[in-house]
Amino acid sequence: MVYHRSTDRLRAALADATDRGVDAVVSAGDLTKDGAPWEYERLDEVLSAFDVPFFSVPGNHDVPKASTDEYEYGDDHESPPLDRFERTYAPDSFPFVERVGGVDVVALNTACLPDGSLRRTHDGAVSGEDLAWLERTLPALDTPVVLMHHNTPAMSDQLRAHGDAAHPGMGMPPVLRDPEPLMEVVTGAEVPLVVTGHLHNIGVARTGPTWEVTTPATGSFPQGYLLVDIDRTGTVVRYVPVTEVDGMTEAHSARWSAGETSAGYASFAAVRLASLPLVDELGTE
């Protein structure tokens, strides 16, 4: 990874989005590498330089993780608690609905449950209380877009199939636990779009009437962000790079050379970038 470029790439993304006059910059999480206090300080410094509205859901790297004898991937620092994330990077406590440019963004927290059950894993989950809230809330919304960090099973299946075909030694990322009830609520309400992060990659998947778009990371290959344009004629999602050829080459080299799993992620991204547009359903009427 090219974490030493993260600050510059984030500034480039925010500057470009601001110049385009977007209604808001919305993040699917992993604002930080490991939720360290200094990482949040750097993030706040960057965000303070821009006036564009910004909000985020937490990613598995943004919330406290505890190490045990059985689980070694915890933090060696005190990550800020979820309520600090909500106060700083969200307009309300999770879950919430935020109106953005005529669209209702429905924000779910999949990274941190109140009972602490995700403190020793990077898996995701949606609490029963949040699921019930979602089931009550979605029918009243005309233009819902669900925002969450962890991916739907359809996207995870794509990555698994890519690994089986091209990188059989790669490991799979943490997944969304017990996703079926969530997907039943989302597809039952015919939500047209779910935006996720987690893979630090670019992808499109479909479950019934619901499309999932996974956002790339600005700090690892492919370094970029997604420009989402939604109006009465449909939805257009554009990939916008945040560095030039040399910077992208550096990012690709770093990701490709960091082991089989990382190489699998890099080739997953490369295949999808080479296949753009990933979906084209423009009508002729």
What tens digit of pLDDT does each residue of 103-133 get? Answer: 999 999 999 999 989 999 999 999 999 999 9
The reply to whether 164 falls in a domain is yes
CA-based radius of gyration for the chain? 18
Closest by CA to 208, choosing from 187, 225, 186, is 187
Reported as type and span, the H/E element at residue 85 is helix 82-89
The reply to whether 206 falls in a domain is yes
Structurally, the chain folds into a number of domains equal to 1
The reply to whether 140 falls in a domain is yes
The reply to whether 281 falls in a domain is no
Quote the mean pLDDT of the chain. Answer: 93
Burial of 174 from C-beta contacts in 10 A (0-12 / 13-18 / 19+): middle
pLDDT of res. 40: 95
Which CATH number fits the domain that encloses residue 206? 3.60.21.10
Closest by CA to 237, choosing from 200, 175, 207, 194, is 194
Tokens 């998947």 belong to residue: 205
Sign of the torsion formed by the C-alpha atoms of 170, 226, 152 and 217: positive
Strand boundaries in 20-133, DSSP class E:
25-27, 54-56, 96-100, 103-107
Q: How confident is the model at residue 285 (pLDDT cuts 50, 70, 90)?
A: very low
**Pair 40, 64: CB distance under 8 Å:** no
Q: Are strands 103-107 and 25-27 parallel, antiparallel or unpaired?
A: unpaired
Q: What is the pTM of this model?
A: 0.95
Mean pLDDT of 152-158: 98
Going by C-beta distance under 8 Å and a sequence separation of 6 or more, which residues neighbour residue 145?
103, 104, 105, 106, 191, 192, 193, 194, 195, 230
The reply to whether 177 falls in a domain is yes
pLDDT of res. 233: 86
Q: How confident is the model at residue 284 (pLDDT cuts 50, 70, 90)?
A: very low
Least confident of 55-59, 87-91, 113-117: 113-117
Mean pLDDT of 25-49: 95
The reply to whether 243 falls in a domain is no
Rounded CA separation 38/61 (Å):
14
pLDDT of res. 192: 96
The reply to whether 274 falls in a domain is no
Sheet holding 203-207, edge to edge: 96-100, 103-107, 144-147, 193-196, 210-214, 203-207
Q: Which two tokens stand for residue 254?
A: 């770093």
Q: Domain range holding 135?
A: 7-214+227-236
**Pair 126, 110: CB distance under 8 Å:** yes
Q: Which two tokens stand for residue 139?
A: 């029918």
pLDDT of res. 159: 97
Q: How confident is the model at residue 80 (pLDDT cuts 50, 70, 90)?
A: confident
pLDDT of res. 73: 61
Helix axes 180-188, 128-137, angle to 10 degrees: 10
Rounded CA separation 135/186 (Å):
8
The reply to whether 250 falls in a domain is no
Q: How confident is the model at residue 72 (pLDDT cuts 50, 70, 90)?
A: low
Q: Which two tokens stand for residue 151?
A: 């991916």
CA dihedral 171, 266, 193, 205 (to 10 degrees): -60
The length of the chain in residues reads: 285
Least confident of 93-102, 178-187, 273-282: 273-282
Mean pLDDT of 87-108: 97
Decide if pLDDT at 68 tops 90: no
Tokens 């690892």 belong to residue: 220
